[in-house]
Structure 1
Amino acid sequence: MGDGQPAAEVLSAELAALRARAGNPSFRKMADRSGQISHTTLHEAVRGTRFPSWDTTREFVRACDADEQQWRRRWEELKGVPPEPAVPVGDTAEAAVVKTPAEPVLISAEPAVAEKPRHRRRYALAAVAFVVVLVAAVGAIVVPKLKSGSLVDVGARVPGDNSQFVDDVTVPDGAVLHVGETVQKVWELRNTGSVAWHQRYLQRMDLPPSPGTCRTPDRVLIGDTPPGDHVMVSVPLTASPAPGRCWIGWKMVDAKGAELFSTRRPVYVLVTVVS
Protein backbone atom coordinates (compact mmCIF):
# COMPACT_ATOMS: atom_id res chain seq x y z
CA MET A 1 0.00 0.00 0.00
CA GLY A 2 1.50 3.28 -1.07
CA ASP A 3 1.95 6.08 1.48
CA GLY A 4 0.67 3.89 4.31
CA GLN A 5 -2.86 3.73 2.91
CA PRO A 6 -4.94 1.15 4.86
CA ALA A 7 -5.56 -2.15 3.09
CA ALA A 8 -9.34 -1.71 3.37
CA GLU A 9 -9.16 1.60 1.50
CA VAL A 10 -6.89 0.19 -1.21
CA LEU A 11 -9.12 -2.84 -1.82
CA SER A 12 -12.31 -0.78 -1.79
CA ALA A 13 -10.85 1.61 -4.40
CA GLU A 14 -9.77 -1.29 -6.61
CA LEU A 15 -13.20 -2.94 -6.32
CA ALA A 16 -14.85 0.38 -7.22
CA ALA A 17 -12.61 0.61 -10.29
CA LEU A 18 -13.55 -2.98 -11.25
CA ARG A 19 -17.25 -2.11 -10.97
CA ALA A 20 -16.72 0.98 -13.15
CA ARG A 21 -14.97 -1.13 -15.83
CA ALA A 22 -17.91 -3.56 -15.73
CA GLY A 23 -20.28 -0.74 -16.69
CA ASN A 24 -21.11 0.41 -13.15
CA PRO A 25 -24.02 -2.03 -12.53
CA SER A 26 -26.23 -1.20 -9.57
CA PHE A 27 -25.53 -3.06 -6.35
CA ARG A 28 -28.99 -4.60 -6.54
CA LYS A 29 -28.21 -5.97 -10.00
CA MET A 30 -24.88 -7.31 -8.73
CA ALA A 31 -26.67 -8.98 -5.82
CA ASP A 32 -29.11 -10.58 -8.27
CA ARG A 33 -26.20 -11.89 -10.36
CA SER A 34 -24.55 -13.31 -7.26
CA GLY A 35 -27.60 -14.79 -5.59
CA GLN A 36 -25.43 -15.26 -2.49
CA ILE A 37 -25.04 -11.81 -0.94
CA SER A 38 -27.08 -8.66 -0.32
CA HIS A 39 -26.70 -5.38 -2.17
CA THR A 40 -25.93 -3.60 1.11
CA THR A 41 -22.98 -5.91 1.79
CA LEU A 42 -21.66 -5.33 -1.73
CA HIS A 43 -21.99 -1.56 -1.26
CA GLU A 44 -20.13 -1.81 2.07
CA ALA A 45 -17.19 -3.42 0.22
CA VAL A 46 -16.42 -0.16 -1.61
CA ARG A 47 -16.88 2.17 1.36
CA GLY A 48 -13.45 1.36 2.77
CA THR A 49 -14.59 1.37 6.39
CA ARG A 50 -13.51 -2.22 6.98
CA PHE A 51 -11.68 -4.96 5.08
CA PRO A 52 -14.27 -7.17 3.31
CA SER A 53 -14.25 -10.93 3.77
CA TRP A 54 -13.16 -13.14 0.90
CA ASP A 55 -16.76 -14.36 0.47
CA THR A 56 -17.91 -10.77 -0.08
CA THR A 57 -14.99 -9.99 -2.38
CA ARG A 58 -15.55 -13.17 -4.40
CA GLU A 59 -19.22 -12.41 -5.00
CA PHE A 60 -18.35 -8.82 -5.93
CA VAL A 61 -15.79 -10.08 -8.46
CA ARG A 62 -18.16 -12.71 -9.87
CA ALA A 63 -20.88 -10.10 -10.32
CA CYS A 64 -18.41 -8.06 -12.41
CA ASP A 65 -17.36 -11.12 -14.50
CA ALA A 66 -13.71 -10.75 -13.40
CA ASP A 67 -10.95 -13.32 -12.80
CA GLU A 68 -11.69 -14.86 -9.40
CA GLN A 69 -8.23 -16.41 -8.94
CA GLN A 70 -6.46 -13.15 -9.74
CA TRP A 71 -8.58 -11.28 -7.22
CA ARG A 72 -8.07 -14.02 -4.61
CA ARG A 73 -4.32 -13.45 -4.86
CA ARG A 74 -4.82 -9.69 -4.58
CA TRP A 75 -7.15 -10.10 -1.58
CA GLU A 76 -4.61 -12.31 0.18
CA GLU A 77 -1.80 -9.86 -0.60
CA LEU A 78 -3.68 -6.96 0.97
CA LYS A 79 -4.98 -9.07 3.86
CA GLY A 80 -1.45 -10.22 4.63
CA VAL A 81 -2.25 -13.93 4.36
CA PRO A 82 0.98 -15.99 4.67
CA PRO A 83 1.82 -18.35 1.79
CA GLU A 84 0.50 -21.87 1.97
CA PRO A 85 2.86 -24.32 3.72
CA ALA A 86 4.60 -26.85 1.51
CA VAL A 87 3.39 -30.44 1.63
CA PRO A 88 6.13 -32.63 3.19
CA VAL A 89 7.39 -35.42 0.94
CA GLY A 90 8.95 -38.44 2.62
CA ASP A 91 9.64 -42.00 1.55
CA THR A 92 5.88 -42.53 1.55
CA ALA A 93 3.89 -39.29 1.43
CA GLU A 94 0.63 -39.32 3.37
CA ALA A 95 -2.48 -37.26 2.75
CA ALA A 96 -1.92 -33.65 3.80
CA VAL A 97 -4.34 -30.79 4.24
CA VAL A 98 -3.30 -27.29 3.18
CA LYS A 99 -5.59 -24.64 4.64
CA THR A 100 -6.35 -21.15 3.50
CA PRO A 101 -8.18 -18.80 5.88
CA ALA A 102 -11.54 -19.42 4.24
CA GLU A 103 -11.53 -22.72 2.39
CA PRO A 104 -9.58 -25.88 3.31
CA VAL A 105 -8.31 -27.78 0.28
CA LEU A 106 -7.59 -31.49 0.56
CA ILE A 107 -4.56 -32.69 -1.37
CA SER A 108 -4.93 -36.41 -2.04
CA ALA A 109 -2.21 -38.81 -0.99
CA GLU A 110 0.14 -40.08 -3.68
CA PRO A 111 3.41 -42.01 -3.51
CA ALA A 112 6.50 -39.86 -3.21
CA VAL A 113 7.85 -38.94 -6.63
CA ALA A 114 11.50 -39.76 -7.06
CA GLU A 115 11.97 -37.97 -10.37
CA LYS A 116 15.15 -36.06 -11.03
CA PRO A 117 14.61 -32.56 -9.54
CA ARG A 118 17.58 -31.19 -11.51
CA HIS A 119 15.90 -32.16 -14.78
CA ARG A 120 12.65 -30.50 -13.69
CA ARG A 121 14.46 -27.29 -12.77
CA ARG A 122 16.27 -27.37 -16.11
CA TYR A 123 12.98 -27.78 -17.98
CA ALA A 124 11.37 -24.98 -15.96
CA LEU A 125 14.25 -22.58 -16.63
CA ALA A 126 14.15 -23.42 -20.34
CA ALA A 127 10.40 -22.76 -20.42
CA VAL A 128 10.81 -19.40 -18.66
CA ALA A 129 13.58 -18.39 -21.06
CA PHE A 130 11.39 -19.30 -24.04
CA VAL A 131 8.48 -17.21 -22.74
CA VAL A 132 10.75 -14.20 -22.12
CA VAL A 133 12.17 -14.41 -25.64
CA LEU A 134 8.68 -14.82 -27.13
CA VAL A 135 7.28 -11.83 -25.24
CA ALA A 136 10.22 -9.68 -26.27
CA ALA A 137 9.80 -10.69 -29.91
CA VAL A 138 6.07 -10.00 -29.91
CA GLY A 139 6.62 -6.67 -28.15
CA ALA A 140 9.13 -5.63 -30.79
CA ILE A 141 6.58 -6.38 -33.50
CA VAL A 142 3.33 -4.95 -32.11
CA VAL A 143 4.56 -2.10 -29.87
CA PRO A 144 6.38 0.41 -32.10
CA LYS A 145 8.05 3.47 -30.58
CA LEU A 146 7.59 7.15 -31.20
CA LYS A 147 10.54 9.33 -32.15
CA SER A 148 10.48 10.71 -28.62
CA GLY A 149 11.12 7.20 -27.28
CA SER A 150 7.74 6.75 -25.54
CA LEU A 151 5.67 3.67 -26.38
CA VAL A 152 2.75 4.00 -28.77
CA ASP A 153 -0.60 3.11 -27.21
CA VAL A 154 -1.71 0.19 -29.38
CA GLY A 155 -5.25 0.60 -28.00
CA ALA A 156 -5.52 4.20 -29.22
CA ARG A 157 -8.39 4.84 -31.65
CA VAL A 158 -6.32 7.42 -33.59
CA PRO A 159 -2.95 6.13 -34.97
CA GLY A 160 0.00 7.85 -33.27
CA ASP A 161 -2.16 9.12 -30.41
CA ASN A 162 -0.83 8.76 -26.86
CA SER A 163 -1.30 10.26 -23.42
CA GLN A 164 0.38 10.25 -20.01
CA PHE A 165 -0.96 11.02 -16.55
CA VAL A 166 1.48 13.38 -14.83
CA ASP A 167 0.05 14.42 -11.47
CA ASP A 168 -2.90 15.09 -9.19
CA VAL A 169 -2.44 18.84 -8.91
CA THR A 170 -5.24 19.25 -6.34
CA VAL A 171 -7.32 16.92 -4.15
CA PRO A 172 -4.88 14.00 -3.76
CA ASP A 173 -6.17 10.44 -3.44
CA GLY A 174 -7.77 9.85 -0.05
CA ALA A 175 -8.43 13.56 0.61
CA VAL A 176 -11.09 14.20 3.26
CA LEU A 177 -14.10 16.35 2.31
CA HIS A 178 -17.11 17.34 4.37
CA VAL A 179 -20.63 16.45 3.28
CA GLY A 180 -21.71 18.79 0.47
CA GLU A 181 -18.30 20.52 0.23
CA THR A 182 -17.27 21.67 -3.25
CA VAL A 183 -13.65 21.67 -4.43
CA GLN A 184 -11.84 21.95 -7.74
CA LYS A 185 -10.10 18.73 -8.82
CA VAL A 186 -7.20 19.27 -11.25
CA TRP A 187 -5.21 16.65 -13.16
CA GLU A 188 -2.06 17.30 -15.21
CA LEU A 189 -1.85 15.31 -18.46
CA ARG A 190 0.77 15.23 -21.23
CA ASN A 191 0.30 14.60 -24.94
CA THR A 192 3.05 12.03 -25.59
CA GLY A 193 1.83 11.12 -29.07
CA SER A 194 2.18 12.68 -32.51
CA VAL A 195 -1.47 13.82 -32.78
CA ALA A 196 -2.69 17.23 -31.60
CA TRP A 197 -5.62 17.14 -29.16
CA HIS A 198 -8.62 19.21 -30.22
CA GLN A 199 -12.21 19.07 -28.97
CA ARG A 200 -11.42 16.35 -26.46
CA TYR A 201 -13.01 15.78 -23.08
CA LEU A 202 -12.65 13.82 -19.86
CA GLN A 203 -15.91 11.96 -19.26
CA ARG A 204 -17.19 10.13 -16.18
CA MET A 205 -17.23 6.36 -16.57
CA ASP A 206 -20.25 5.80 -14.29
CA LEU A 207 -22.90 7.65 -16.29
CA PRO A 208 -25.58 7.98 -15.17
CA PRO A 209 -24.05 8.31 -11.68
CA SER A 210 -25.60 6.44 -8.77
CA PRO A 211 -27.81 8.46 -6.40
CA GLY A 212 -25.91 9.68 -3.35
CA THR A 213 -22.45 9.69 -4.94
CA CYS A 214 -20.24 12.77 -5.40
CA ARG A 215 -21.51 15.22 -8.00
CA THR A 216 -19.56 16.53 -11.00
CA PRO A 217 -20.34 17.52 -14.60
CA ASP A 218 -20.72 14.52 -16.90
CA ARG A 219 -17.66 15.66 -18.85
CA VAL A 220 -15.17 18.53 -18.97
CA LEU A 221 -13.27 20.04 -21.89
CA ILE A 222 -9.55 19.40 -22.40
CA GLY A 223 -7.82 22.42 -23.88
CA ASP A 224 -6.13 22.13 -27.29
CA THR A 225 -2.80 20.37 -26.68
CA PRO A 226 -0.04 19.90 -29.28
CA PRO A 227 2.25 16.84 -29.12
CA GLY A 228 4.70 17.11 -26.22
CA ASP A 229 2.69 19.73 -24.31
CA HIS A 230 1.14 19.47 -20.85
CA VAL A 231 -2.46 20.44 -20.05
CA MET A 232 -4.35 21.02 -16.79
CA VAL A 233 -7.86 19.58 -16.70
CA SER A 234 -10.18 20.90 -14.00
CA VAL A 235 -13.54 19.60 -12.75
CA PRO A 236 -15.75 20.91 -9.90
CA LEU A 237 -16.43 18.15 -7.36
CA THR A 238 -19.18 18.29 -4.73
CA ALA A 239 -18.96 15.73 -1.92
CA SER A 240 -21.82 13.27 -1.46
CA PRO A 241 -24.71 14.16 0.88
CA ALA A 242 -23.76 11.38 3.32
CA PRO A 243 -20.42 10.18 4.75
CA GLY A 244 -18.60 7.48 2.84
CA ARG A 245 -16.03 6.98 0.12
CA CYS A 246 -16.27 8.34 -3.39
CA TRP A 247 -14.37 6.99 -6.44
CA ILE A 248 -15.01 8.40 -9.91
CA GLY A 249 -13.06 7.29 -12.98
CA TRP A 250 -12.66 9.45 -16.09
CA LYS A 251 -11.64 8.51 -19.67
CA MET A 252 -10.69 10.73 -22.61
CA VAL A 253 -13.38 10.94 -25.32
CA ASP A 254 -14.01 12.90 -28.51
CA ALA A 255 -16.86 15.38 -29.12
CA LYS A 256 -19.25 12.47 -29.84
CA GLY A 257 -18.36 10.69 -26.61
CA ALA A 258 -16.31 7.91 -28.24
CA GLU A 259 -13.49 6.65 -26.01
CA LEU A 260 -9.99 7.36 -27.40
CA PHE A 261 -7.75 5.08 -25.29
CA SER A 262 -9.48 1.76 -24.63
CA THR A 263 -6.48 0.09 -22.97
CA ARG A 264 -5.53 2.95 -20.66
CA ARG A 265 -6.44 3.01 -16.98
CA PRO A 266 -8.72 5.94 -16.13
CA VAL A 267 -7.66 9.00 -14.24
CA TYR A 268 -9.79 9.20 -11.12
CA VAL A 269 -10.77 11.10 -8.02
CA LEU A 270 -10.86 9.25 -4.69
CA VAL A 271 -12.07 11.06 -1.56
CA THR A 272 -13.41 10.23 1.88
CA VAL A 273 -16.54 12.16 2.85
CA VAL A 274 -17.15 12.93 6.53
CA SER A 275 -19.95 14.74 8.31
Structure 2
Amino acid sequence: MGDGQSAAEVLSAELATLRARAGNPSFRKMAGQSGQISHTTLHEAVRGTRFPSWDTTREFVRACDADEQEWRRRWEELKGVPPEPEPAAVEPVVITSEPAVPALEKRRRPRRKYALAAVAFVVVLLAAVAAFVVPKLNRASLVDVGARVPGDNSKFLADVTVPDGTVIHVGETVQKVWELQNTGSAIWHQRYLQRMDLPPSPGSCRTPDRVLIGDTPPGDHVMVSVPLTASAAPGKCWIGWKMVDANGAEFFSTRRPVYVLVTVVS
Protein backbone atom coordinates (compact mmCIF):
# COMPACT_ATOMS: atom_id res chain seq x y z
CA MET A 1 0.00 0.00 0.00
CA GLY A 2 1.28 3.47 -0.78
CA ASP A 3 2.50 5.73 2.01
CA GLY A 4 1.92 3.05 4.63
CA GLN A 5 -1.82 2.95 4.05
CA SER A 6 -3.76 -0.14 5.09
CA ALA A 7 -5.94 -2.08 2.64
CA ALA A 8 -9.05 -0.69 4.37
CA GLU A 9 -7.83 2.90 3.90
CA VAL A 10 -7.00 2.36 0.23
CA LEU A 11 -10.35 0.74 -0.53
CA SER A 12 -12.29 3.39 1.39
CA ALA A 13 -10.54 6.16 -0.57
CA GLU A 14 -11.31 4.44 -3.88
CA LEU A 15 -14.96 3.95 -2.90
CA ALA A 16 -15.20 7.61 -1.91
CA THR A 17 -13.81 8.59 -5.33
CA LEU A 18 -16.34 6.30 -7.02
CA ARG A 19 -19.18 7.93 -5.08
CA ALA A 20 -17.91 11.40 -6.03
CA ARG A 21 -17.90 10.42 -9.71
CA ALA A 22 -21.49 9.21 -9.32
CA GLY A 23 -22.53 12.68 -8.15
CA ASN A 24 -22.12 12.18 -4.37
CA PRO A 25 -25.52 10.56 -3.74
CA SER A 26 -26.51 10.50 -0.07
CA PHE A 27 -25.89 7.27 1.80
CA ARG A 28 -29.62 7.06 2.52
CA LYS A 29 -30.36 7.28 -1.20
CA MET A 30 -27.75 4.60 -1.91
CA ALA A 31 -29.23 2.35 0.78
CA GLY A 32 -32.70 2.88 -0.67
CA GLN A 33 -31.45 2.01 -4.14
CA SER A 34 -29.74 -1.10 -2.79
CA GLY A 35 -32.55 -2.29 -0.56
CA GLN A 36 -30.07 -4.76 0.96
CA ILE A 37 -27.92 -2.76 3.36
CA SER A 38 -28.25 0.18 5.75
CA HIS A 39 -26.93 3.68 5.07
CA THR A 40 -24.74 3.50 8.19
CA THR A 41 -23.00 0.38 6.87
CA LEU A 42 -22.40 2.09 3.52
CA HIS A 43 -21.00 5.12 5.34
CA GLU A 44 -18.71 2.84 7.39
CA ALA A 45 -17.22 1.53 4.11
CA VAL A 46 -15.60 4.93 3.35
CA ARG A 47 -14.30 5.61 6.87
CA GLY A 48 -11.32 3.28 6.43
CA THR A 49 -11.47 1.91 9.97
CA ARG A 50 -12.09 -1.69 8.88
CA PHE A 51 -12.01 -3.58 5.61
CA PRO A 52 -15.63 -3.89 4.36
CA SER A 53 -17.10 -7.24 3.36
CA TRP A 54 -17.66 -7.99 -0.32
CA ASP A 55 -21.45 -7.81 0.21
CA THR A 56 -21.09 -4.25 1.50
CA THR A 57 -18.67 -3.30 -1.29
CA ARG A 58 -20.93 -4.85 -3.93
CA GLU A 59 -23.98 -2.88 -2.80
CA PHE A 60 -21.88 0.31 -2.67
CA VAL A 61 -20.67 -0.30 -6.25
CA ARG A 62 -24.16 -1.15 -7.50
CA ALA A 63 -25.57 2.03 -5.97
CA CYS A 64 -22.94 3.98 -7.96
CA ASP A 65 -23.71 2.08 -11.23
CA ALA A 66 -20.12 0.80 -11.51
CA ASP A 67 -18.70 -2.43 -12.96
CA GLU A 68 -19.27 -5.11 -10.29
CA GLN A 69 -16.77 -7.61 -11.75
CA GLU A 70 -14.01 -5.02 -11.98
CA TRP A 71 -14.55 -4.01 -8.36
CA ARG A 72 -14.68 -7.65 -7.28
CA ARG A 73 -11.19 -8.13 -8.71
CA ARG A 74 -10.00 -4.96 -6.98
CA TRP A 75 -11.57 -6.02 -3.66
CA GLU A 76 -9.89 -9.43 -3.86
CA GLU A 77 -6.56 -7.80 -4.73
CA LEU A 78 -6.67 -5.56 -1.65
CA LYS A 79 -8.13 -8.25 0.56
CA GLY A 80 -5.33 -10.60 -0.44
CA VAL A 81 -7.58 -13.49 -1.45
CA PRO A 82 -5.19 -16.34 -2.37
CA PRO A 83 -5.58 -17.98 -5.78
CA GLU A 84 -7.28 -21.35 -5.89
CA PRO A 85 -4.71 -24.11 -5.37
CA GLU A 86 -3.74 -26.28 -8.30
CA PRO A 87 -5.20 -29.79 -8.08
CA ALA A 88 -2.68 -32.22 -6.65
CA ALA A 89 -1.13 -34.64 -9.06
CA VAL A 90 -2.57 -38.12 -8.79
CA GLU A 91 -0.03 -40.85 -8.58
CA PRO A 92 -0.78 -43.76 -10.91
CA VAL A 93 -2.03 -46.86 -9.16
CA VAL A 94 -0.07 -49.96 -9.93
CA ILE A 95 -2.00 -53.18 -9.58
CA THR A 96 0.07 -56.21 -8.84
CA SER A 97 -0.91 -59.80 -8.45
CA GLU A 98 -1.53 -60.96 -4.88
CA PRO A 99 1.52 -62.59 -3.41
CA ALA A 100 1.32 -66.18 -2.42
CA VAL A 101 0.08 -66.72 1.14
CA PRO A 102 1.26 -69.69 3.15
CA ALA A 103 -1.40 -72.25 3.96
CA LEU A 104 -1.06 -71.58 7.71
CA GLU A 105 -1.73 -67.82 7.22
CA LYS A 106 -4.81 -68.62 5.16
CA ARG A 107 -6.18 -70.68 8.04
CA ARG A 108 -5.58 -67.78 10.47
CA ARG A 109 -7.44 -65.15 8.38
CA PRO A 110 -10.99 -66.29 9.21
CA ARG A 111 -10.26 -66.04 12.95
CA ARG A 112 -8.94 -62.48 12.52
CA LYS A 113 -12.02 -61.52 10.47
CA TYR A 114 -14.39 -62.86 13.13
CA ALA A 115 -12.47 -61.04 15.88
CA LEU A 116 -12.74 -57.71 14.01
CA ALA A 117 -16.44 -58.29 13.44
CA ALA A 118 -16.96 -58.93 17.16
CA VAL A 119 -15.13 -55.70 18.08
CA ALA A 120 -17.22 -53.73 15.57
CA PHE A 121 -20.42 -55.18 17.04
CA VAL A 122 -19.42 -54.14 20.57
CA VAL A 123 -18.60 -50.58 19.41
CA VAL A 124 -21.98 -50.24 17.65
CA LEU A 125 -23.77 -51.62 20.72
CA LEU A 126 -22.04 -49.14 23.07
CA ALA A 127 -22.84 -46.26 20.72
CA ALA A 128 -26.51 -47.25 20.66
CA VAL A 129 -26.64 -47.40 24.46
CA ALA A 130 -24.95 -43.98 24.73
CA ALA A 131 -27.36 -42.46 22.23
CA PHE A 132 -30.28 -43.71 24.33
CA VAL A 133 -28.99 -43.03 27.84
CA VAL A 134 -26.82 -39.86 27.56
CA PRO A 135 -29.60 -37.54 26.30
CA LYS A 136 -31.73 -38.57 29.29
CA LEU A 137 -28.89 -37.80 31.69
CA ASN A 138 -28.08 -34.42 30.11
CA ARG A 139 -31.59 -33.24 29.27
CA ALA A 140 -31.92 -31.27 32.49
CA SER A 141 -28.58 -29.51 31.91
CA LEU A 142 -29.22 -28.34 28.32
CA VAL A 143 -29.14 -24.54 28.02
CA ASP A 144 -31.65 -22.75 25.77
CA VAL A 145 -29.76 -19.84 24.23
CA GLY A 146 -33.00 -18.52 22.75
CA ALA A 147 -31.96 -18.67 19.09
CA ARG A 148 -35.03 -19.32 16.94
CA VAL A 149 -32.95 -20.24 13.86
CA PRO A 150 -30.42 -23.10 14.25
CA GLY A 151 -26.86 -21.75 14.26
CA ASP A 152 -28.03 -18.14 14.63
CA ASN A 153 -26.09 -15.83 16.95
CA SER A 154 -25.46 -12.13 17.50
CA LYS A 155 -23.06 -9.95 19.46
CA PHE A 156 -23.33 -6.34 20.61
CA LEU A 157 -20.06 -4.52 19.84
CA ALA A 158 -20.47 -0.82 20.64
CA ASP A 159 -22.61 2.26 21.15
CA VAL A 160 -21.31 4.17 18.14
CA THR A 161 -23.24 7.33 19.07
CA VAL A 162 -25.16 8.54 22.13
CA PRO A 163 -23.41 6.52 24.86
CA ASP A 164 -25.34 5.60 28.00
CA GLY A 165 -26.16 8.63 30.16
CA THR A 166 -25.88 11.20 27.35
CA VAL A 167 -27.60 14.47 28.33
CA ILE A 168 -30.04 15.90 25.78
CA HIS A 169 -32.58 18.71 26.00
CA VAL A 170 -36.35 18.49 26.01
CA GLY A 171 -37.61 17.92 22.45
CA GLU A 172 -34.09 17.47 21.03
CA THR A 173 -33.57 14.77 18.36
CA VAL A 174 -30.40 12.66 18.22
CA GLN A 175 -29.35 9.71 16.08
CA LYS A 176 -28.57 6.57 18.06
CA VAL A 177 -26.29 4.02 16.33
CA TRP A 178 -25.39 0.53 17.56
CA GLU A 179 -22.75 -1.75 16.06
CA LEU A 180 -23.73 -5.43 15.97
CA GLN A 181 -22.01 -8.53 14.60
CA ASN A 182 -23.49 -11.67 13.08
CA THR A 183 -21.49 -14.31 14.97
CA GLY A 184 -23.64 -17.25 13.86
CA SER A 185 -23.98 -19.27 10.65
CA ALA A 186 -27.33 -17.84 9.46
CA ILE A 187 -27.60 -14.88 7.07
CA TRP A 188 -29.60 -11.95 8.49
CA HIS A 189 -32.27 -10.94 5.97
CA GLN A 190 -35.41 -8.86 6.51
CA ARG A 191 -34.66 -8.38 10.19
CA TYR A 192 -35.50 -5.40 12.36
CA LEU A 193 -34.77 -3.86 15.75
CA GLN A 194 -38.10 -3.25 17.51
CA ARG A 195 -38.98 -1.32 20.66
CA MET A 196 -39.88 -3.57 23.55
CA ASP A 197 -42.36 -1.13 25.15
CA LEU A 198 -44.95 -1.01 22.36
CA PRO A 199 -47.16 0.90 22.52
CA PRO A 200 -44.88 3.41 24.27
CA SER A 201 -46.20 5.12 27.36
CA PRO A 202 -47.30 8.79 27.08
CA GLY A 203 -44.49 11.22 27.77
CA SER A 204 -41.68 8.80 26.86
CA CYS A 205 -38.97 9.53 24.31
CA ARG A 206 -40.20 9.13 20.73
CA THR A 207 -38.69 6.77 18.14
CA PRO A 208 -39.97 4.67 15.23
CA ASP A 209 -41.54 1.41 16.41
CA ARG A 210 -38.83 -0.52 14.54
CA VAL A 211 -35.91 0.01 12.15
CA LEU A 212 -34.54 -2.25 9.40
CA ILE A 213 -31.26 -4.13 9.87
CA GLY A 214 -29.33 -4.41 6.61
CA ASP A 215 -28.63 -7.88 5.20
CA THR A 216 -25.66 -9.21 7.17
CA PRO A 217 -23.74 -12.40 6.27
CA PRO A 218 -22.10 -14.50 9.02
CA GLY A 219 -19.06 -12.74 10.49
CA ASP A 220 -20.02 -9.26 9.23
CA HIS A 221 -20.68 -6.15 11.30
CA VAL A 222 -23.69 -3.89 10.79
CA MET A 223 -24.54 -0.38 11.99
CA VAL A 224 -28.18 0.04 13.05
CA SER A 225 -29.45 3.60 13.40
CA VAL A 226 -32.61 5.00 15.01
CA PRO A 227 -33.69 8.65 15.49
CA LEU A 228 -34.68 9.50 19.06
CA THR A 229 -36.57 12.62 20.16
CA ALA A 230 -36.37 13.55 23.84
CA SER A 231 -39.52 13.61 25.97
CA ALA A 232 -41.35 16.82 26.72
CA ALA A 233 -40.34 16.71 30.40
CA PRO A 234 -36.97 16.18 32.12
CA GLY A 235 -36.07 12.72 33.38
CA LYS A 236 -34.41 9.44 32.50
CA CYS A 237 -35.25 7.75 29.21
CA TRP A 238 -34.49 4.01 28.70
CA ILE A 239 -35.71 2.07 25.65
CA GLY A 240 -34.84 -1.59 24.96
CA TRP A 241 -34.78 -3.08 21.47
CA LYS A 242 -34.94 -6.73 20.30
CA MET A 243 -34.25 -8.31 16.89
CA VAL A 244 -37.49 -9.42 15.19
CA ASP A 245 -38.82 -10.56 11.80
CA ALA A 246 -41.39 -8.76 9.64
CA ASN A 247 -44.19 -10.17 11.84
CA GLY A 248 -42.58 -8.98 15.07
CA ALA A 249 -41.45 -12.45 16.24
CA GLU A 250 -38.19 -12.33 18.22
CA PHE A 251 -35.09 -14.19 16.98
CA PHE A 252 -33.36 -14.30 20.40
CA SER A 253 -36.07 -14.51 23.04
CA THR A 254 -33.77 -15.00 26.04
CA ARG A 255 -31.02 -12.57 25.10
CA ARG A 256 -30.55 -9.17 26.71
CA PRO A 257 -31.79 -6.29 24.52
CA VAL A 258 -29.69 -3.49 23.13
CA TYR A 259 -30.88 -0.19 24.54
CA VAL A 260 -30.59 3.58 24.58
CA LEU A 261 -30.30 5.46 27.87
CA VAL A 262 -30.33 9.26 27.98
CA THR A 263 -30.94 11.96 30.56
CA VAL A 264 -33.43 14.62 29.43
CA VAL A 265 -32.96 18.14 30.83
CA SER A 266 -34.86 21.36 30.25
**TM-score normalised according to structure 2 size:** 0.47
**TM-score normalised according to structure 1 size:** 0.45
Q: Which has the higher contact order (CA 8 A, sep 6+)?
A: 2
The structure whose residues are more often helix, as a share, is 2
